């Protein structure tokens, strides 16, 4: 009996091409987004894909990031994730949309489904799943004790290392999604600052030695920053931000371990999930 040939999986480059050439149709506004993110349909050559469009004009001004710079940081985070083999950030491009220029990022999961990874939780003490790492102990809104915990998962290690590289100041639990068999991270607009600003729910790996594979990712992205990515990054970030990016990678390779929070800066984003 004849069998069907497997359908080839689209590469990130294929997806980026589709995002760049497709016709955009706005479906909805993401109501819990602080920067007027839009769910859009992207149609090209008979294929439809869903994506998130973040127009520059919808960005909320922040005291610690230049106005209008967040979508460029989204794109830079994708380029670094792709170049280093982290594969954390979904394909992301910059292009014009119905409300002007902005970022366009591939949607993760079904539009009407939930892509939550299920690997980060706030729960009562002693009720985290076996083997999970407790990151923070505190109280909920009515004073009951709770803990913030995450799985001791290889994919979360990769994500935590990537966040240290890009100085991500907003890794909430809801920003960690499952895309088929792999983890993806979203919302990297507040990253790549010069000052240490990492805020994340993934502090469970502090001080753990980097594996050979993790060091290889760092070396790979460092080389890309000095060669293939240099011109693209110069269009997206300041010279000081690119220099700080390279210095963070050098520091991680020198210490050979996952970093701790920077003093004088909140370590956990709010809300954590």
Q: Would you say residue 169 has pLDDT above 70?
A: yes
Pairwise CA distance, residues 205 & 156, whole Å: 9
In a domain, 131, yes or no: no
pLDDT tens for each residue of 109-157: 766 656 677 889 988 998 889 999 999 888 777 788 988 999 999 999 9
Rg, C-alpha atoms of the chain:
19
Q: Where are the alpha helices (DSSP H) in 55-153?
A: 70-83
Cis peptide upstream of residue 271 (ω within 30 degrees of 0): yes
Angle between helices 154-166 and 70-83 (to 10 degrees): 130
Contact 97, 53 (CB under 8 A): yes
Question: Domain residues for 32?
Answer: 12-106
Count structural domains, the chain: 1
Pairwise CA distance, residues 258 & 160, whole Å: 8
User: What per-residue string of b and e applies to 20-44 under the rule 16 or more CB within 10 Å gives b?
Assistant: eebebeeeeeeeeeebbbbbbbbee
In a domain, 49, yes or no: yes
Place of tokens 């996952």: 258
pLDDT tens for each residue of 200-217: 999 999 999 999 999 999
Mean pLDDT across the stretch 63-76?
Answer: 90
In a domain, 257, yes or no: no
In a domain, 97, yes or no: yes
Give which of 7, 161, 141 is closest to 80, Cα–Cα.
Answer: 161
In a domain, 243, yes or no: no
In a domain, 113, yes or no: no
């Amino acid at each position: 009996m004849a069998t069907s040939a497997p359908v080839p999986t689209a590469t990130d480059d294929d997806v980026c091409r589709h995002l760049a050439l497709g016709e955009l149709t706005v479906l909805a506004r993401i109501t819990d987004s602080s920067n007027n993110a839009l769910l859009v349909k992207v149609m090209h050559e008979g294929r439809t894909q869903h994506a998130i469009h973040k127009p520059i004009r919808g960005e909320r001004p922040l005291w610690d990031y230049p106005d209008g710079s967040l979508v460029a940081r989204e794109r830079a985070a994708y380029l670094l994730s792709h170049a280093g083999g982290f594969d954390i950030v979904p394909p992301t491009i910059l292009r014009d949309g119905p409300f002007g220029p902005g970022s366009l990022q591939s949607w993760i999961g079904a539009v009407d489904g939930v892509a939550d990874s299920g690997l980060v939780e706030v729960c009562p003490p002693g009720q985290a799943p076996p083997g999970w790492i407790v990151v923070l102990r505190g109280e909920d809104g009515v004073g009951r004790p709770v803990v913030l915990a995450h799985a001791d998962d290889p994919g979360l290690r990769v994500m935590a290392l990537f966040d240290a590289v890009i100085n991500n100041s907003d890794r909430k639990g809801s920003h960690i999604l499952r895309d088929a068999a792999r983890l993806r991270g979203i919302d990297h607009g507040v990253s790549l600052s010069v000052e240490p600003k990492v805020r994340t729910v993934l502090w469970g790996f502090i001080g753990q030695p980097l594996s050979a594979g993790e060091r290889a990712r760092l070396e790979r992205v460092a080389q890309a920053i000095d060669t293939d990515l240099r011109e693209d990054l110069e269009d997206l970030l300041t010279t000081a931000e690119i220099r700080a990016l390279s210095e963070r990678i050098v520091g991680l390779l020198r210490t050979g371990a996952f970093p701790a929070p920077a003093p004088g800066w909140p370590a956990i984003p709010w809300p954590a999930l």
